[in-house]
């Protein structure tokens, strides 16, 4: 799997936005899974600009999120749902019926995960899963050691993931202990995958991917078995010589 190395995060974001806009131009009713985190923000800004310039029609697309905190609804400013409405859906004039987001506040999380999987199937499966990358190689909330056959489910959050959220909570005990996440198997069923790699501390996870050997300790290496993956990587993250 050979990454496309971009000069910086701006170039990466532009490349990614062109990639997503090309899909939406070719297939306006495409189903796309979208990530949260710092990495996709530049992509979203550029995609909104392309949308506003008329490069594609977003009114028929379907969007899904990759993960959510248990106990959080999209009304909570600390939820991933809120992040996506703020940074992508609202600026792109996406209607609520176009975005099926995991409901972290669902009373029955198992039923919610099943309903979410069914909603993906109902639109013909994911055309594209856009992924960020965790420093430990996680994708969505699939942490090292995750079962690669798993579909959307409830997972316990690692202490590191919880610590990264702590800044948003005055009381550390309030940081969610669990999340809902698309499983590796859900992600692998997408027709195409776009992996975005930017930000500090990602070099080890990329090195695991470049070794080319699937390794459950590095969930991102599951993608090695997918036939249609595009990896965009910011050259600035490289801490080794190739
Ligand atoms: C979180 C999210 C992932 C995301 C990752 C990387 O753990 N659950 O979906 O890919 O962070 O975030 P960032 O892009 O901020 O490095």
Distance from the CA of 78 to the center of ligand 1, in angstroms?
A: 14
**Active-site residue identified among 51, 62, 68, 136:** 136
* Active-site hit among 51, 65, 67, 68: 67
Where is 17: in which H helix or E strand? helix 9-26
Query: 138 an active-site residue?
Result: yes
- Looking at residue 157, the DSSP 8-state letter turns out to be P
d(C-alpha 180, C-alpha 68), whole Å = 5
Kindly list the distances between the CA atom of residue 72 and the CA atoms of 47, 143, 185, 223, in Å, as whole numbers in the listed order. 27, 20, 24, 29
Q: How many CB atoms lie within 10 A of CB 165?
A: 15
Annotated catalytic residue 174? no
Q: Catalytic: 215?
A: no
pLDDT tens string for the chain (242 positions)? 889 999 999 999 999 999 999 999 999 999 999 999 999 999 999 999 999 999 999 999 999 999 999 999 999 999 999 999 999 999 999 999 999 999 999 999 999 999 999 999 999 999 999 999 999 999 999 999 999 999 999 999 999 889 988 999 999 899 999 999 999 999 999 999 999 999 989 999 999 999 999 999 999 999 999 999 999 999 988 765 54
Is residue 203 among the annotated active site residues?
Answer: no
* CA end-to-end span of the chain: 14
CB 169 within 8 A of CB 239: no
Q: How far is the CA of 106 from the centre of ligand 1 (A)?
A: 22
Q: 142 alpha carbon to ligand 1 midpoint, in Å?
A: 11
What separation in Å is there between the alpha carbon of 37 and the centre of ligand 1?
5
Give which of 134, 142, 141, 160 is closest to 72, Cα–Cα: 141
Q: What is the pTM of this model?
A: 0.96
Q: What would the two tokens of residue 155 be?
A: 């997972």
Pocket of ligand 1 (CB under 6 A): 35-39, 66-67, 132-134, 140-141, 161, 199
Tokens 């909603």 map to which residue? 119
Residue 38 CA to residue 130 CA, distance in Å, equals 13
């Amino acid at each position: 799997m050979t990454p496309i190395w971009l000069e910086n995060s701006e170039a990466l974001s532009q490349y990614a936005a062109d990639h997503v806009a090309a899909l939406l131009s070719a297939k306006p009713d495409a189903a796309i899974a979208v990530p949260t985190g710092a990495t996709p923000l530049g992509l979203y800004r550029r995609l909104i600009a392309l949308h506003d310039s008329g490069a594609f029609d977003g009114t028929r697309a379907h969007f899904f999120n990759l993960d959510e905190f248990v106990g959080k609804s999209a009304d909570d400013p600390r939820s991933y749902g809120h992040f996506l409405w703020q940074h992508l859906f609202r600026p792109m004039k996406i209607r609520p019926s176009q975005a099926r987001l995991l409901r972290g506040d669902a009373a029955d999380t198992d039923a919610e995960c099943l309903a979410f999987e069914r909603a993906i199937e109902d639109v013909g499966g994911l055309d594209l899963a856009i992924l960020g990358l965790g420093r430990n190689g996680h994708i969505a909330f699939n942490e090292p050691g995750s079962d690669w056959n798993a579909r959307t489910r409830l997972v316990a959050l690692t202490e590191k993931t919880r610590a990264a959220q702590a800044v948003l909570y005055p009381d550390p005990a309030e940081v969610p202990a669990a999340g809902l996440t698309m499983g590796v198997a859900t992600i692998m069923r997408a027709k195409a995958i776009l992996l975005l790699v930017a930000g500090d501390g990602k070099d080890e996870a990329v090195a695991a991917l470049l070794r080319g050997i699937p390794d459950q300790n590095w969930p991102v290496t599951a993608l090695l078995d997918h036939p249609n993956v595009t990896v965009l990587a910011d050259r600035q993250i490289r801490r080794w010589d190739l």
